[in-house]
Amino acid sequence: MALLETKDLGINFGGLRAVGDFNIKIEDNQLIGLIGPNGAGKTTVFNLLTGVYLPTEGSIYLNGENIVGKKPYEIVQKGISRTFQNIRLFKDLSVIDNVKMAFHHKMNYSIGAGILRLPYYWKEEKEIHEKALDLLKLFNMEKLAYATAKNLPYGEQRKLEIARALATNPKLLLLDEPAAGMNPQETNELMKTIHFIRDKFQIAILLIEHDMGLVMGICEKIVVIDYGIIIATGTPEEIKNNKKVIGAYLGE
Amino acid sequence: MKSKLKPYIINTVAIIFTYVILILLMQTGIINSYYEGIVISIGINIILATSLNLATGYLGQLALGHAGFMAIGAYASAICTSMMNLPDLLQLIVSILIGGIFAGIFGILIGIPALRLKGDYLAIITLGFGEIIRVVILNMKITGGARGFRGILPLTSFNSVFWITVIIVLIIYTLINSRHGRAIISIREDEIASEAVGINTTYYKIFAFSLAAFFAGIGGGLYAHYYTVLDPASFGFMRSIEILIIVVLGGMGSLTGSIVAAIILTILPQLLLDFSDYRMLIYSILLIIMMIFRPQGLLGKTEFSLTKLFKITPNNKERSE
């Protein structure tokens, strides 16, 4: 059984068909790229998968369970986590607090225990503090743990957003243009990071990206959409030589 | 473990010290009954301001109907006292709790539709609800209508206000520094990101909003049992604005800021009584100057901390205690 499977997923905004007949299968530990020209509906697909938009038709199965109609936070708790095209950090909070937020649903102490600071509160708070630090260490960010998120350099902010998404313990990570605005060296480093995450956490990654070097370099499978419809699926080699894809990008 | 206790000891000592000083000043007559009234008003204003800070400063939702919740708490507790006959202190506690619960329930009822909106829209809808509450009270029989509700037992004393204020501020402080508080703050920072890390934002918005209403109701209950007369006109829009000014002046997201601002803004109008004609003018000018030179409020989002002051922060892992 695939980790994630969509069946004839589609959404209309008024008369506009943003995405239609979207069928995709993601296996465990797979790294898939989702590409397409601007306005093709890539981010809309992400918003459908994460429950931000309610699809007009079709279904989404996560480990065989239909997750259509679930709230975004419920879907996160079920194992799909994401980053945003324009970084969305908790800007005025410290780096470590940003990560701690994502542990929220895995902690158990009640509101009363938190207010009275029962031993359980201290124990769990200490645990997630260490977990958050460990996670930051993986990204070489432990020194920045108490810096304010908005003061980080751009590349670090991207990394922090990925770290935060990983803290929710996802099975599938959706990355929305992680390399946007990065210079070639940063992009290179990011490629390594993505590979590393996949191997270390044993998760599947679906990635939207315009940087073809990055997509072709790390994805095992690429899905191309244009005008909300999948026009090609295949390995990087197959996609490079696909006439429809070349047509969509360059015009015929 | 030992260092963890230090901040608690320091703060407990500070609270008891403040209490003893105030009591001594009262017994020696330096604080006469007129000043005692001001001290009690300060306590009530601290409760109202810190609770509004929970909704506005930490949750980040601009609410302009706080006086409405205060009114519900005041009337509910006053009616409760008039119907029951318990020993004084117990009666006060039962009454203000009932006032708080009523206000909290209305907080949930109003919060569910209102918190779907944001920013200025939320401000206007809460303003509307606040006025509706006032008008309904004005037209009900049980509340005495426009004549006001008279003859409430004067159960509020300096002691009860002091300790209830301390308890409420502590509850809000520890709540904010727990995982639930983090969830509330994350909504202020970025609601979409908050939901994207698995936080049930609707739940926490309504929770924080109704908890703020609950505490405002308790503040209203203390108010009712101090002034012994309730007039719907005193719970109008201006009262909500006054509370909001305290929060903004102290710093949105700073409890100690709210406390300092509540003290200043309760005493200031009294000090300016001599300049009766220019009182509101001076008051307004002070606010304008404040907003020009320190728009984030007295303390911004930080907390004043005795522990930090004495430089014995246990470990920099902890937030300021």
Digit-coded pLDDT (tens) for B68-86: 999 999 999 999 999 988 8
pLDDT tens sequence across A98-124: 999 999 999 999 999 999 999 999 999
Query: Of the residues A168, A200, A222, which one is the last residue of a structural domain?
Result: A168
Cβ B180–A111 below 8 Å, yes or no?
Answer: yes
Amino acid, res. A152: L
CA B94 to chain centre: 19
- Among chain B residues, CA nearest to A116: B174
* DSSP one-letter string for B162-198: HHHHHHHHHHHHHHHTSHHHHHHHHHHH-HHHHHHTT
Q: Does A81 touch chain B (CB under 8 A)?
A: yes
Handedness of CA B135, B140, B142, B147 (dihedral sign): positive
How many structural domains is chain A composed of? Answer: 2
CB contact under 8 A, B175 and A104: no
The answer to whether residue B174 neighbours chain A at the CB level (below 8 Å) is yes
Alpha-carbon dihedral sign for residues A49, A53, A55, A59? positive
For residues A197 and A185, is the Cβ–Cβ distance under 8 A?
Answer: no
The pLDDT of residue B2 is 53
A56 and A107 share a domain? Answer: no
Residue among B175, B183, B193 whose CB faces A89 most closely: B193
Mean of the pLDDT values across residues A235-245?
A: 89
Phi-psi region of A21 (alpha: psi -120 to 50; beta: other; left: phi over 0): left
Residues 6+ apart with CB under 8 A from A200: A138
- C-beta pairs of B267-273 under 8 Å, 24+ apart in sequence: B267/B38, B267/B42, B270/B38
Q: Does A91 touch chain B (CB under 8 A)?
A: yes
Chain A CB within 8 Å of residue B193 CB: yes
| One domain for residues A119 and A146 | yes
Quick: pLDDT tens for A142-200.
999 999 999 999 889 999 999 999 999 999 999 999 988 888 888 888 888 999 999 99
Question: Is A84's CB within 8 Å of B185's CB?
Answer: no
In a domain, A10, yes or no: yes
Which of B175, B180, B195 shows the shortest C-beta gap to A72? B195
Query: Is A41 within the bounds of a domain?
Result: yes
Q: Based on the fold, state whether residues A184 and A117 are members of the same structural domain.
A: no
Is A85 inside any structural domain? no
A222 lies in a domain?
Answer: yes
pLDDT at B32 over 90: no
- For chain B, domain boundaries: 2-309
* Alpha helices (H) in chain B, listed in sequence order: 2-27, 33-53, 66-83, 88-114, 119-138, 158-176, 179-189, 191-196, 201-227, 237-250, 255-271, 279-293, 306-309
**CATH code of the domain covering residue A69:** 3.40.50.300
What number is the average pLDDT over the span A218-246?
91
pLDDT exceeds cutoff 80 at B3: no
Judging contacts by C-beta atoms under 8 Å, the chain A residues touching residue B194 are 90, 101
Residue A17 lies inside a defined structural domain of this protein: yes
Q: Does B316 touch chain A (CB under 8 A)?
A: yes
Name the amino acid, one letter, at A136: L
Q: What is the DSSP letter of A21?
A: E
* A160 and A177 fall within a common domain: no
Q: Is residue A51 part of a domain?
A: yes
Is residue A95 located within the same domain as residue A141? Answer: yes
Contacts of A120 (CB under 8 A, 6+ apart): A108, A109, A113
Backbone angles phi, psi at A97, to 5 degrees: -65, -35
CB-based contact A101 B182, cutoff 8 Å: yes
Q: Do A115 and B186 touch (CB under 8 A)?
A: no
Asked if A73 and A177 sit in the same domain, the reply is yes
A130 touches chain B (CB under 8 A): no
* Residue among B241, B243, B242, B261 nearest B251 (CA): B261
Boundary (domain end) residue, out of A139, A168, A197? A168
pLDDT band at B311 (very low <50, low <70, confident <90, very high): low
Partner residue facing A115 (CB), from B171, B189, B198? B171
**A197 touching B, CB under 8 A?**
no
The domain defined by B2-309 folds into ABC transporter involved in vitamin B12 uptake, BtuC (1.10.3470)
Region for residue A66 given its phi and psi (left: phi exceeds 0; alpha: psi -120 to 50; beta: otherwise): beta
Q: Is residue A35 a part of any domain in this protein?
A: yes
**Residue A126 and residue A122: Cα distance in Å, rounded?**
6
Closest partner residue to B198 (CB to CB) among A97, A104, A117 is A104
Residue finishing a domain among A168, A188, A209: A168
Q: Domain range holding A40?
A: 1-79+170-252
